[in-house]
Structure 1
């Protein structure tokens, strides 16, 4: 069973973005005692934050090449220490000179050869990033410079001495946002001493989901104020085994162990000390998120909001696709609150009609959604006449917070109508009004289990399939190919009430469309899976 982390964050979400949004990847490279983090937007744009030592093996370039990344959109040097900028020189000279190389600007007090090599190689594209500057990575992903050389985006500033002894304090603090997801990377930013900036930066940023640990786990960073202001569920520390600095320092381990919010502490390598929350990956630590409902780190699944479930599916009465002569089907909508208390939500359900646009079927603002066993399941008939437009129809259900800012859950199902475009047909829908949508105390008995997620989607080669079980019972989770052949049984047996996650690795199967099917006593739930290499 995969880990689940529940957090409620308050940021603005543009709800025109579909709930099946593409994946943002953040790769924390395992490059020994250094830092290098790749932000890879679903638009294909990239930002490499730091690049580790020049003496490290060329793992960064090889990983990018193997994943089809042949150039960089942006790089950003958080500061000028060699374990953060050393490898930029080789990358720039091997075809990875970015469109823009961001950094904090010139610093006369810092005079190492690594620094001079970097500014010479980056010169054609080098640009100083300003506090508050927002870099658009496309696809809804942005990176905001919260702090640059002691100057913060809210106008506050700390005057840092020119001496190279204060290089860590000059680190750029970067906030990455993708819809509901928030992440911070800040180089070697300090959390103690006369010029500490963790408290000011974290006070501006507020609640996030994940951060990269400052200064590789040094005692001078990752302060209690930083942890409590950010309230992150997970953190990633980049370091090497047997490093000469003793990282992660015991002071940081103690603060991590005692922090209420932080659940998991991922290490690229073990280092010297482990937290009770530590997970040692011994590899690149990869984060993936759709930005809306969940994210994964090293395969562990975390939620981005309260545990609310919506399921949309079509039961055809005639064969699919709907023939030119027309046909009949039932649309189905189920909503469940898997938390322990009532949550005020907005419920929206609509049909996207080809060439016509959305047809609203349910719009319920300010609906109080009680926890299980109470829930709602509705089905209504749709008669698709011969004159209905041809093309792909989508039934879409969304649950948002009462202010319509945060997407809690969403689902869709599709069906296809053959033939040519037709005329008026809306009278055949038979929708019902909002007053008909009432909660039922027995919904868990009528539909006691359902597949609630398949993540990521599309996937390659592993997908995590989640389902909810409202009461103890016998269930079986299988995977079928498009021809109806069973290719895997992921679980068969009795389970207690709860939410469960199972992995399927399709590496031995050809790419294409598959279906996960959950069956049991009165249960038949199906989810489409798309495997792309």
Structure 2
């Protein structure tokens, strides 16, 4: 736990997955459903995908594959399998990919899951639910099969470089309840100080840690703190960046 300016234990604390030593998670993988409702005749589910890595090591010879959990709980797939080479310090965003759902698929709620690893061993995965409506007697079925489109062929072929300068991205979510995540980037290894103040100027959280070069995230838990406006300060090598965050319970 962090201590405030008077030496008391603060209401804020760094959450478990971000260590005081400054080690971030190696990967952040997120799938977000965009259109998640399919009609009785079948149709297209759309989703976005993002992948960030926080280590200086590329991961070559891996695969990305997708599965669906059917309404009866059984798994179906893989629907597609792609070879991927993940660069060091990857920061990849695919705004839209498409999943074709056939008309003969049973109605009900599904779970779509994307896996990254060395098939069939999963290194990291994420999922989202989608729904297919019931088929009416008068409705016809589309002749399509399960399929995916929208895969960017070159998205995993580039090599991400180290950041050119110290930079703090916008904390999210904002407003937040109860945790807020602070992304930042370092061109070289060094010490980073993160301080949160209330509107009276009182320190409610303070953490000082050494981070390696690259992109990092620190998530702060303010669950014991009251709703209100706070100032979040991130400092490195004499450069200080401040932004306003709002805790809304």
TM-score, with structure 1 as normaliser: 0.26
Name the larger-Rg structure.
1
- Relative contact order (C-alpha < 8 Å, sep 6+): which is higher? 2
Higher percent of residues as helix: 1
TM-score (norm 2): 0.49
More strand by share: 2
